[in-house]
Amino acid sequence: MNSRAGSPSSAAAASAASPPDRPAPGPRATGDPSAADPIRDRARSGGASRTAGRAASPRLDRDAAERVIRRAVELTDDDRLDDGVDVTALLDAADELGMERGEVHRALAEERVGLLVDEPRTGDRLLGPDRVVVARVVPGSTDEVLERLDAWMRLGRVLRRVRREPDRAVYARRGDPAAVLQRTARSVRGGERLARVRRLVASVVAVGDDRSLVALSVDTSASRSTAAAGGVTVAASGVVTAGVAAVEWAPWAWVGVPVAVAGGVGVAAARRGYLADVDQDLESVLDELVAGRRPVSLVDAVAARLSDVTDRGVGSFRSRRPGSRRPASGSP
């Protein structure tokens, strides 16, 4: 009887006295890094899916990417872009696209000096643009580069400075007798291509550590107007003359019509050749800036030439003096 009564009571007492069963220690308690971790596994699976999605995304060529970005800007609400775009955001976007930040800084400098907003005009294919622009990155700070550029414009290209700003200088053609003499001498040597330039704008903008973007812009709108008027005059007068001659005297005079048109086109072609010469001369200035050379003025060149001629004349006079003996051929 004691055995039947004591059996349930002893089981209950044992159950009350012993603590409840604890769950088995988790993977963090075991210290095993290879053990299963649901949180870590979900994070890994999410990162893998993002990587796979990025690898599987389509790739665009350069032209398509430019069109997409341009269209996205057009579709963006104007109110969101009224305050402009932060330059830091552009640099971060360039990093994401794998672009060099130095190239972005150069593009920003070109935008600042107005190189990226030039739109072609009607007639540019025939007459050429109304300005010639060259640009290049040269070594040196903006102040140093602007000083060297000023020397080349005033001494090497016979221009006068009419305005100077921290990052910009404006030059015009000199009309004094000394400038006319220098241009004549340079024309004889075939080095004067900016003789008809009325206005030249030089801009210098920093693009990095000890590197500057130099942009030279020459206004050629006057020559464009002159070439347009001259070409039309030559072509129209030739056509009228040929037409009158064909009607009044000889029908074969109609062959003068295409000749007259060709003459008008030739006037436009001559202007394009002039623009090519101006572009070449401006590029030569940038070459000198990159090389770090200084210009030599006409006065210095003439003085050096006279000194050379004088030295040769004195040497020849000394060799012809009475009593002067030439050294023997075998003597040192």
For the stretch 54-111, pLDDT in tens is: 555 788 888 888 888 888 877 876 666 667 778 888 888 888 888 888 888 888 888 8
pLDDT of amino acid 146 = 93
Q: What is the mean pLDDT of residues 178-193?
A: 70
Predicted confidence band at 209 (pLDDT cuts at 50, 70, 90)? Answer: confident
pLDDT of amino acid 312 = 64
Phi then psi for residue 316, to 5 deg, are -70, -40
pLDDT of amino acid 216 = 95
Least confident of 78-92, 135-149, 229-243, 265-279: 78-92
Give the highest mean pLDDT range of 55-64, 225-234, 247-256. Answer: 225-234
**pLDDT tens column, 4-50:** 444 444 444 444 444 445 444 544 444 454 455 554 454 444 444 44
Task: Tell which residue, 284, 165, 297, 156, has the closest CA to residue 216.
Answer: 284
CA distance 298 to 182: 6
CA distance 284 to 291: 11
**Residue 142: pLDDT over 80:** yes
Phi then psi for residue 140, to 5 deg, are 120, 160
pLDDT of amino acid 298 = 58
Predicted confidence band at 169 (pLDDT cuts at 50, 70, 90)? Answer: very high
Task: Tell which residue, 208, 201, 210, has the closest CA to residue 113.
Answer: 201
pLDDT of amino acid 315 = 54
Beta-carbon contacts of 190 under 8 Å, excluding residues fewer than 6 positions away, are none
**Residue 154: pLDDT over 60:** yes
The full 3-state SS of the chain, as one line of letters, equals: CHHHHHHHHHHHHHHHHCCCCCCCCCHHHHCCCCCCCHHHHHHHHHHHHHHHHHHHCCCCCHHHHHHHHHHHHHHCCHHHHCCCCCHHHHHHHHHHCCCCHHHHHHHHHHHHCCCCCCCCCCCHHHHCCCEEEEEEEEECCHHHHHHHHHHHHHHHCCEEEEEEECCEEEEEECCCHHHHHHHHHHHHCCCCCCCCCCEEEEEEEEEECCEEEEEEEEECHHHHHHHHHHHHHHHHHHHHHHHHHHHHCCHHHHHHHHHHHHHHHHHHHHHHHHHHHHHHHHHHHHHHHHHCCCCCCHHHHHHHHHHHHHHHHHHHHHHCCCCCCCCCCCCC
Task: Tell which residue, 229, 222, 325, 307, has the closest CA to residue 268.
Answer: 229
Predicted confidence band at 133 (pLDDT cuts at 50, 70, 90)? Answer: very high
Predicted confidence band at 201 (pLDDT cuts at 50, 70, 90)? Answer: very high
Instruction: Count the neighbouring beta carbons within 10 Å of the beta carbon of residue 33.
Output: 9
Beta-carbon contacts of 277 under 8 Å, excluding residues fewer than 6 positions away, are 193
Predicted confidence band at 318 (pLDDT cuts at 50, 70, 90)? Answer: low
**Amino acid (one-letter) located at 215:** A
**Residue 228: pLDDT over 70:** yes
pLDDT of amino acid 218 = 92
pLDDT of amino acid 55 = 53
**Residue 331: pLDDT over 50:** no
pTM for the model: 0.64
CA distance 252 to 157: 51
**Residue 273: pLDDT over 90:** no
CA dihedral angle for residue 51, residue 55, residue 56, residue 57, rounded to 10 degrees: 100
